[in-house]
Amino acid sequence: MNRFHTGFKKSMPVLAGIVLAAAIAASAHAQAPIRIGASVSQTGSFANLGQNQLRGFQLCIKEANDRGGVLGRKLQLAFEDDRSQAADAVAVYEKLLGQEKVDLVFSPYSSPLTEAVANVTEKHRMSMVGAGAATTSIFKKGRKYIFMLLSPAEVYLEGLIDLASKRGLKTLAILYEDTLFPKAIAQGTIELAKRRGMNVVVAEAYPAKTKDFAPLIKKVKAANPDVVAAATYFDDAIAITRQLKAADINPKMHAVTVGGDLPKFHELLGGDAEFVYGASQWLPELVTLRAGGLIPIARQYPGAAEFVAAHQKEFPDAGLSYHTAQGYAACQILLEGVKRAGSLDRDRIRDAILKLDTHTAYGAFRVDSDGFQTAHKMVLFQWQDGKKVIVWPEELAADRPRFPTPPWGKR
Amino acid sequence: MLSMRGDLIRAFGTLVTVAILSSTAAAAQPTKPFRIGVLNEAWAANHPAVEGLRAGLRELGFEEGRDVVYDIRFTQGKPEATPAAAEALVKAGVDLIFTSNEAATRAAKNATRTVPIVFTLVGDPVIGGIVRTIAKPGENLTGVSSLTTELAAKRLELLTLLAPKVRRVWAIHHGDDPSSIAAIWTAEAAAKQLKVEILSRPVYNAEQLKHAVKSIRPGDALLPPEVGTLDIPAALLELSISSRIPAVFATSLYVGHGGLVSYGSDYYAEGAQAARLVAKILRGARAGDLPVEGADRIDLAVNLKTATSLGLAVPRKLLLRADTIRR
């Protein structure tokens, strides 16, 4: 039995598949669709973010098909749940490429899963644009068919360190999940902090799925740092913020990474999310911002306004996070590579993507010869009155950071 | 994020009541901080001149919250909204108005004869009718001139140096902007020697701007105005990038976002320079007694990536003179 979904909306895979099939059959010149395979985290710890990424793939494919497809052929997405597990994801891609013989692939969500499946896609010389992977090492292992879309993990908290340093803060505590991506964020942040003369007083890893952070929180409390940064996914971002409050730890700045940008972060924490900083690869607000209050920067995100509107129309009940934009842009890059290659020839597609120097709805895209991203830029936001306000880089910051973060009792 | 009410956009105007200044007497008897009204035609509160003002005042010992608070109003390039915003600042009882551009300055001048006004980004305050003389501006105004008029000829020279084949240079500007008009006269005076023709096009609304832009042809070049009224510089930046039309801008901010070249005052530095005038006035000087200053920092910036995309070679002598080179 084929366990792959092929539909546009998860809730209507069969119907969408029928519609797609009918549309193809209706065309006298119809060719077989180009099949794009992927594993998607529909369950497990990456389920929320994986679903967000999937919606980006789906929207991009729909729009491409509405425009007539690519190379004169419609596109069809085939995906299966990887349960947020690397081994499952590997099995999905082995099947997609070995048995299903898909024409193209999208990446899974997260660095660990991308790292695992990259060995499979590499073996098949199949270009994969990492829609949800920001760990540098994945792209620095001599692989030839993987391309980075995101800004690297090491610069996720560059804005935090820059703002902290400019405000004379001296000490940093950093907590991070002991997995590929958060570890890379922590290493990069520590390096950035040291370069700015800050003293790293706590740098502690914790295993994935940790719920009780008491031992780490105790160390942070003892060190009394100016800045607390946590390289997180969603659940730990929530738990660490709550436990910092419970321990009445009051840094002047407090940041989390992945998860902190989701509306759910503020929904769950309420007022306790206020003043928390978060790093983001992309925000919908970017398309309306002006550098220095004067120069529109929307051209750096071409099609982003339309993407936001289309997302609202197709998924009115789904929150829009940067993960959806990533899925959308990764698809845009892959399809642009195919168009420029003029065929599904795997090496031609690779060469075409390597040569791209472009902007998508997600921002700038350009990679070096390793496929490592060199053009995309991060932003730092702060939760202010229930909204994410971009506070860095300064030229884009329409509002100032609310600094210092007041003690928990005064928020 | 910011909210919009009618034509007037109001950013943060935090009012905090704390102590004032650093003198012993003041320390002994805390009073309210000075309220500085800020008026410009930007699209957000973070105009570089305002950031420069804040930084400049900080350096001069005026702590935000304790000594000064800001009431920032920006009108998104809408000339019709600026007078009302100026009047609202006066009504709000600010102690001083800091303006950035000619339209905002004129609106502030029309709104009050008593509240001191310190202007920035005014190309030529005498020609613009803002002050009587540079040395003794009189009334309630002083400020920093960005020297747009004087620098226009140099801008044109830089443009022709980078794009020697250009023969027609469009100078689209707001028709009620005397400094831009004066700058165009200066450019026209230099044009003959540089073997180019200046096509001066005044516009008064978005429709006219759109129409004027349609007249521009490949091979032409642009001399955008300094003033952001009607969003003219941004529209010309977009045209320059999308249609590969060389353009010389009045400040380096545009070169950082794809403009080919700029020669003119650094807005942030101009704000910081004006902070010194603001400080003197807050400490008791009369605005009209303080001579208008010319911008201290004039920068040449060039974008090599844009030059390449336009197929232009950047002469070595220009690179050697450039203060900022974007790659």
Yes or no, beta carbons of B46 and A397 under 8 Å apart: yes
Q: From residue B131, give the alpha-carbon distance in Å to each of A395, A398, B123, B138, B140.
A: 32, 32, 12, 7, 9
Query: What is the CA A63 to chain-centroid distance, rounded?
Result: 21
Task: Return d(Cα B115, Cα B141) in angstroms, integer.
Answer: 9
| Structural contact between residues B22 and B81, judged by C-beta atoms closer than 8 angstroms | no
Yes or no, beta carbons of A398 and B267 under 8 Å apart: no
> To probe the interface with B, which of A294, A300, A390, A403 has the most B CB atoms within 10 Å?
A294
Query: Pick from B200, B203, B166, B204: which is nearest to B184 by CA?
Result: B200
Chain B residues with CB under 8 Å of A399 CB are 1-2, 11-12, 45-46
Total number of residues shown for chain A: 411
Task: Return d(Cα A298, Cα A301) in angstroms, integer.
Answer: 5
Query: Pick from A84, A77, A12: which is nearest to A48 by CA?
Result: A84
Nearest C-alpha of chain A: how many angstroms from B72?
12
Q: Is B320 on the interface with A (CB under 8 A)?
A: no
- pLDDT over 80 at A187, yes or no: yes
Chain A residues with CB under 8 Å of B11 CB are 398-399
Nearest C-alpha of chain A: how many angstroms from B43?
5
Least CB-CB distance to A293: which of B47, B233, B258? B47
Q: Which value does ipTM take for this structure? A: 0.83
Q: Are strands A277-280 and A379-384 parallel, antiparallel or unpaired?
A: antiparallel
Query: Pick from B152, B129, B148: which is nearest to B222 by CA?
Result: B152
- pLDDT of A43-78, one tens digit each? 998 998 899 999 999 999 999 999 999 999 999 999
Yes or no, beta carbons of B253 and A296 under 8 Å apart: no
Least CB-CB distance to A292: which of B1, B48, B238? B48
For residue A165, report the phi and psi dihedrals to the nearest 5 degrees.
Answer: -65, -45
Q: What is the pLDDT of residue A321?
A: 84
Q: Are strands A146-148 and A171-177 parallel, antiparallel or unpaired?
A: unpaired
Yes or no, beta carbons of A294 and B12 under 8 Å apart: no
The mean of the pLDDT values for chain B is: 90
Tell me the three state secondary structure of residue A317. Answer: coil
Chain B residues with CB under 8 Å of A400 CB are 12
Query: Pick from B237, B230, B266: which is nearest to B254 by CA?
Result: B237
- pLDDT of B198-210, one tens digit each? 999 999 999 999 9
| Structural contact between residues A291 and A411, judged by C-beta atoms closer than 8 angstroms | no
- pLDDT of B48-102, one tens digit each? 999 999 999 999 999 999 999 999 999 998 889 999 999 999 999 999 999 999 9
- pLDDT over 50 at A228, yes or no: yes
Yes or no, beta carbons of B42 and A293 under 8 Å apart: yes
Q: Is B42 on the interface with A (CB under 8 A)?
A: yes
| Structural contact between residues A50 and A61, judged by C-beta atoms closer than 8 angstroms | no
For residue B217, report the phi and psi dihedrals to the nearest 5 degrees.
Answer: -120, 155
Q: Dihedral (C-alpha) B58, B63, B65, B67: value to the nearest 10 degrees?
A: -110
Q: From residue B5, give the alpha-carbon distance in Å to each of A273, B10, B85.
A: 28, 8, 11
Predicted structure pTM score: 0.77
Q: What is the pLDDT of residue B13?
A: 36
- pLDDT of B12-42, one tens digit each? 333 333 333 344 334 444 578 999 999 999 9
